[in-house]
């Protein structure tokens, strides 16, 4: 039955010729693990698209509801926390994959003739991915998202002549608010995916027209070739499955917490961007005053232009790294600067003690509901109820605390503590605070 259906479809859609086109593309020099980054990047983009579509089913792009809708996804939607985790960690993974793909092409000199246009399209796709990261960062509408986006938009204002115009376009007004969030959401889920799909289609079309570059060793390229199927498909599949399992593990074991809800009046909040922007964040600390435009737009613009027109700057036909010393030194120097700044930024960030947002919220609830009138913590508070100074050691079970807040009599018969009429999220936050009260 399946064979007859395939033959019926093949007679109309020419599936055999399509399979030949997709799978029999010759790879100069043969299959290699070094070629998996392109397929990995494409897979991760599709994963971001799929998880993003499911998140959009429950997301409300308004300041009044955006934060609460993320909380709803996290705590009420079936496997919502897992899908959001995949989307969060997938964003980091796709930046790593596209970076490695660009590095591999750079190292192999695969941007040279006749692949100049394919390289330029790839650089544009990289810039689109960075824009994805920037526009998506605001959507949770927490403190980090709000103030990091505010900083990013203000940087646009340093551009001469058009800076003010760009700021108004991004904000959709004079201040960062409801129209900004709506605009960022539309750009993130409508405009950028359309641009990305078109760019990927053009990138793959050019690849099919000019073919893979293969190793920089021309003798190896000329003497050996094999089709995309089966070895390269196998290598790509192994990497893709491994990536998905890694992201699933990260989403399961390392959930990404929200900060407090965005408060435009809290100018004391210091935002921290995602790790792939941290090197730039660190650079801005060193270049201040009259030289600030150098860091905010002059250097980035020069870097993008140099990357985009690299095939025309490096016009020698030789692809061996040893025959391209200037390009290799420039690339190594750039990586040293980026990873050096990234390392300094991470070191400084980890030197600052941090509080779990859930614990902070729980502590606020403890104060708001006047729990200190009955309970003492480290010598402060009433003595009507048990001392909670080290309750995290005595009662390390979160489920016990949640039952206790819901119905104290069910776990502590005779307790005079009233039932707490809180949302599930507030109960979890209060439980986090209780569990944090430990010795040491």
Q: Residue 351 pLDDT more than 80?
A: no
- pLDDT confidence bin for 9, thresholds 50/70/90: confident
The rounded distance, in Å, linking the Cα atoms of 170 and 432 is: 38
| CA angle at 38 for the pair 34 and 44, rounded to the nearest 5° | 120
pTM score above 0.75: yes
Radius of gyration of the chain (CA): 27
Which helix or strand (DSSP H or E) is residue 377 part of?
strand 376-377
* Helix (H), strand (E), coil (C) string for 116-155: HHHHHHHHHHHHHHHHHHHHHHCCCCEHHHHHHHHHHHHH
pLDDT at 440: 56
pLDDT at 91: 96
Arithmetic mean of pLDDT, 72-89: 94
Q: Residue 15 pLDDT more than 80?
A: no
pLDDT at 290: 81
Contacts of residue 176, defined as CB under 8 A and 6 or more positions apart, other chains included, come to 146, 149, 150, 153, 264
Q: For residue 131, give the nearest of 86, 76, 184, 203 by alpha carbon.
A: 184
Percent of the chain at pLDDT exceeding 90: 45
Residues 124-144: tens digit of each pLDDT: 999 999 999 999 999 999 888
pLDDT at 417: 87
Domains in the chain (CATH in brackets) are: 23-350 (1.20.810.10), 357-436 (1.10.760.10)
Arithmetic mean of pLDDT, 226-249: 94
Residues 97-107: tens digit of each pLDDT: 999 999 999 99
Arithmetic mean of pLDDT, 216-239: 84
Percent of the chain at pLDDT exceeding 70: 97
The rounded distance, in Å, linking the Cα atoms of 290 and 109 is: 38
The rounded distance, in Å, linking the Cα atoms of 405 and 428 is: 10
The rounded distance, in Å, linking the Cα atoms of 188 and 66 is: 15
- pLDDT confidence bin for 214, thresholds 50/70/90: confident
For residues 309 and 327, is the Cβ–Cβ distance under 8 A? no
For residues 86 and 254, is the Cβ–Cβ distance under 8 A? no
pLDDT at 271: 78
Q: Residue 36 pLDDT more than 60?
A: yes
The rounded distance, in Å, linking the Cα atoms of 220 and 237 is: 25
Contacts of residue 35, defined as CB under 8 A and 6 or more positions apart, other chains included, come to 27, 104, 212, 232, 235
Pair of tokens at residue 354: 């941090």
pLDDT at 355: 65
Greater confidence, 13 or 21?
13
The rounded distance, in Å, linking the Cα atoms of 151 and 281 is: 10
Residues 422-435: tens digit of each pLDDT: 888 888 888 888 88
Find which of 26-30, 69-73, 174-178, 271-275 is predicted with most confidence, using mean pLDDT: 69-73
pLDDT at 77: 93
β partners of residue 101: none
The rounded distance, in Å, linking the Cα atoms of 35 and 244 is: 18
Find which of 77-91, 209-223, 380-394, 422-436 is predicted with most confidence, using mean pLDDT: 77-91
- pLDDT confidence bin for 370, thresholds 50/70/90: confident
For residues 125 and 199, is the Cβ–Cβ distance under 8 A? yes
Pair of tokens at residue 200: 């990927």
Contacts of residue 230, defined as CB under 8 A and 6 or more positions apart, other chains included, come to none
Arithmetic mean of pLDDT, 231-256: 94
Contacts of residue 282, defined as CB under 8 A and 6 or more positions apart, other chains included, come to 341, 342, 344, 345, 348
Contacts of residue 309, defined as CB under 8 A and 6 or more positions apart, other chains included, come to 120
The rounded distance, in Å, linking the Cα atoms of 309 and 301 is: 12
């Amino acid at each position: 039955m399946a064979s007859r259906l395939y033959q019926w479809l093949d007679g109309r859609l020419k599936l055999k010729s399509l399979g030949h086109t997709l799978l029999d593309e010759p790879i100069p020099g043969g299959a290699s693990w070094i070629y998996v980054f392109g397929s990995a990047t494409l897979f991760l983009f599709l994963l971001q698209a799929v998880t993003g579509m499911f998140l959009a089913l429950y997301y409300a792009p308004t300041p009044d509801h955006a934060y609460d809708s993320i909380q709803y996804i996290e705590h009420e939607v079936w496997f919502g926390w897992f899908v959001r985790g995949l989307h969060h960690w997938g964003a980091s993974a796709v930046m790593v994959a596209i970076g490695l793909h660009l590095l591999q092409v750079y190292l192999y000199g695969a941007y040279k003739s006749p692949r100049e246009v394919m390289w330029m399209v790839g650089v544009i796709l990289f810039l689109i991915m960075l824009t994805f990261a920037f526009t998506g960062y605001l959507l949770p509408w927490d403190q980090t998202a709000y103030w990091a986006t505010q900083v990013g938009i203000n940087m646009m204002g340093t551009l001469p002549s058009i800076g003010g115009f760009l700021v108004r376009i991004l904000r959709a007004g004079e201040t960062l608010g409801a129209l900004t969030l709506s605009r960022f959401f539309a750009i993130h889920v409508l405009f950028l995916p359309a641009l990305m799909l078109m760019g990927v289609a053009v990138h793959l079309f050019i690849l099919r027209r000019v073919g893979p570059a293969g190793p920089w060793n021309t003798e190896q390229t000329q003497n050996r070739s094999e089709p995309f199927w089966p070895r390269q498909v196998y290598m790509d599949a192994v990497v893709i499955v491994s990536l998905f399992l890694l992201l699933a593990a990260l989403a399961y074991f390392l959930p990404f917490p929200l900060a407090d809800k965005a408060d435009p009046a809290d100018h004391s909040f210091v935002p921290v961007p995602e790790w792939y922007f941290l090197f730039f964040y660190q650079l801005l600390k060193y270049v201040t005053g009259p030289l600030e435009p150098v860091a905010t737009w002059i250097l980035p613009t020069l870097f993008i232009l140099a990357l985009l027109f690299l095939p025309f700057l490096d016009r020698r036909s030789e692809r061996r790294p040893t025959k391209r010393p200037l390009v290799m030194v420039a690339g190594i120097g750039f990586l040293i600067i980026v990873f050096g700044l990234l390392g300094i930024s991470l070191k400084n960030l980890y030197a600052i003690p941090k509080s779990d947002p859930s614990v902070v919220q729980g502590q606020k609830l403890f104060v708001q509901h006047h729990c200190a009138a009955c309970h003492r913590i480290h010598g402060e508070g009433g003595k009507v109820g048990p001392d909670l100074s080290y309750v995290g050691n005595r009662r390390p079970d979160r489920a016990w605390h949640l039952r206790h807040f819901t119905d104290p009599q069910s776990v502590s018969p005779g307790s005079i503590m009233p039932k707490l009429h809180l949302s599930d999220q507030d109960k979890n936050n209060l439980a986090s605070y209780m569990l944090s009260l430990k010795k040491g």
